[in-house]
């Protein structure tokens, strides 16, 4: 029987993960997942696509909403969550063309990030999504009232260990004479929220609805992968063309390279979501049940 064996939250978009044993599910994703992000002066998201070393930032949220960020050299930033009702400035932020309102953290935070990464990406601002209802999911794949955090496009991403094992086998076949290129990749390269064990390889490509423990999810579409998957999440370094080359050979759908599925939590009834809504808790070891299967749309170029 499939079960949940991996659970990851990314409080700051593109920074290092937290891996709790359980997490609450809100309509827009796991509690605390990607409610913060870095942006340029125009509000456009700055991610590992722009600066792979962002993955080395360790982040710890506090119950009061504040955030502690630790750099590889041990230096730390503690920042209070900015809030528009409390008078924080608000700007239009963008993630893959999706425009929404976000609050701007204080200048100390901007200076801290700009000092470390500004030489490559320019001046940086730290943004906080204090209103999780402000950003709608792509209406081509969403239901009424579906919203998302500062994730690339959808509330959660699920992957399976069987598909990673199959992909690593393909890597080995593609590079029989090069141990470095054939080296097995860890799941962390794909930055999932949920990792499921006990399926057939690529079975998730046919899922339409699943239940994880007490929470039900709708599968929106397959996830199109990008250069972030070539970044070692432990060192912040690019590691060459894999897995994109292997996905291009074996998991291409149109112009997109797919690994993993985007999920949208299902809400009871027809009520629109509200701040404070909790849909349940997912826990390591939870049973996973496939409720509905069928074909999915072609993925887009997001991870």
- Decide if 73 is inside a domain: yes
pLDDT bucket at 183, cuts 50 / 70 / 90:
confident
Decide if 106 is inside a domain.
Answer: yes
- Residue 295's pLDDT is 78
CA 127 from centre of chain? 16
- Contact between 84 and 130 under an 8 Å Cβ cutoff? The reply is yes
- Would residue 43 count as lying in a domain? yes
Q: Worst-scoring range by mean pLDDT, 118-132, 133-147, 228-242, 265-279?
A: 265-279
The rounded mean pLDDT for the chain is: 93
The model's pTM: 0.95
What is the rounded CA–CA span in Å between residue 90 and residue 39?
A: 13
Q: How many angstroms separate the CA atoms of 125 and 255, rounded?
A: 33
In terms of residue numbers, what domain contains 56?
Answer: 34-128
Output the CA–CA distances (angstroms, integers) from residue 183 to 86, 169, 242, in the order listed.
50, 10, 10
186 belongs to a structural domain = no
262-277 mean pLDDT:
84
- Give percent of the chain with pLDDT exceeding 90: 83
Domains: count for the chain: 1
The whole-number pLDDT of residue 175 equals 86
Q: Is the pLDDT of residue 176 over 90?
A: no
The answer as to whether 169 is a domain residue is: no
Is the pLDDT at 268 greater than 90, yes or no? no
Query: In which band, very low, low, confident or very high, does the pLDDT at 28 lie, cut at 50, 70 and 90?
Result: very high
Is 47 buried (19+), middle (13-18) or exposed (0-12) by CB count in 10 A? buried
In this predicted structure, the answer to whether residue 230 has a pLDDT above a threshold of 70 is yes
pLDDT in tens, 206-227: 999 999 999 999 999 999 999 9
pLDDT in tens, 129-142: 999 999 999 999 99
The answer to whether position 72 is within a domain reads yes
Report if residue 172 sits inside a domain. no
Domain presence at residue 74:
yes
Residues 39-88 have pLDDT tens digits of: 999 999 999 999 999 999 999 999 888 999 999 999 999 999 998 888 89
What average pLDDT does this structure show over 17-23? 98
Q: What is the pLDDT of residue 303?
A: 40
Q: Is-contact 290 215, C-beta < 8 A?
A: no
């Amino acid at each position: 029987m499939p079960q949940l064996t991996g659970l990851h939250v990314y409080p700051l978009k593109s920074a290092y993960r937290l891996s709790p044993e359980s997490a609450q599910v809100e309509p827009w994703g796991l509690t605390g997942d990607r409610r913060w992000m870095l942006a340029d002066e125009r509000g456009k998201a700055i991610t590992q696509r722009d600066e792979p070393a962002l993955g080395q930032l360790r982040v710890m949220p506090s119950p009061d909403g504040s955030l502690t960020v630790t750099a590889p050299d041990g230096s730390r930033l503690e920042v209070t969550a900015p809030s528009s009702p409390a008078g924080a400035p608000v700007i239009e932020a963008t993630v893959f063309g999706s425009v929404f309102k976000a609050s701007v953290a204080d200048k100390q935070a901007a200076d801290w990030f700009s000092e470390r990464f500004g030489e490559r990406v320019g001046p940086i601002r730290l943004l906080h999504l204090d209103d999780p209802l402000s950003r709608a999911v792509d209406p081509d794949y969403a239901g009424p009232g579906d919203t998302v955090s500062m994730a690339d496009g959808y509330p959660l991403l699920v992957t399976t260990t069987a598909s990673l094992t199959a992909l690593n086998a393909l890597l080995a076949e593609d590079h029989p004479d090069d141990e470095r290129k054939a080296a097995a990749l860890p799941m962390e390269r794909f930055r999932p929220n949920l990792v499921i064990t006990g399926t057939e390889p690529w079975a998730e490509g046919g899922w339409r609805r699943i239940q994880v423990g007490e929470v039900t999810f709708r599968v929106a579409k397959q996830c199109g992968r990008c250069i972030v998957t070539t970044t070692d999440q432990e060192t912040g370094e690019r590691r060459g063309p894999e897995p994109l080359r292997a996905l291009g050979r074996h998991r291409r759908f149109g112009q997109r390279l797919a690994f993993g599925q985007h999920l949208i939590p299902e809400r009871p009834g027809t009520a629109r979501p509200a701040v404070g809504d909790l849909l349940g808790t997912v826990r390591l070891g939870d049973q996973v049940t496939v409720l509905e299967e069928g074909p999915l749309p072609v993925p887009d170029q997001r991870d």
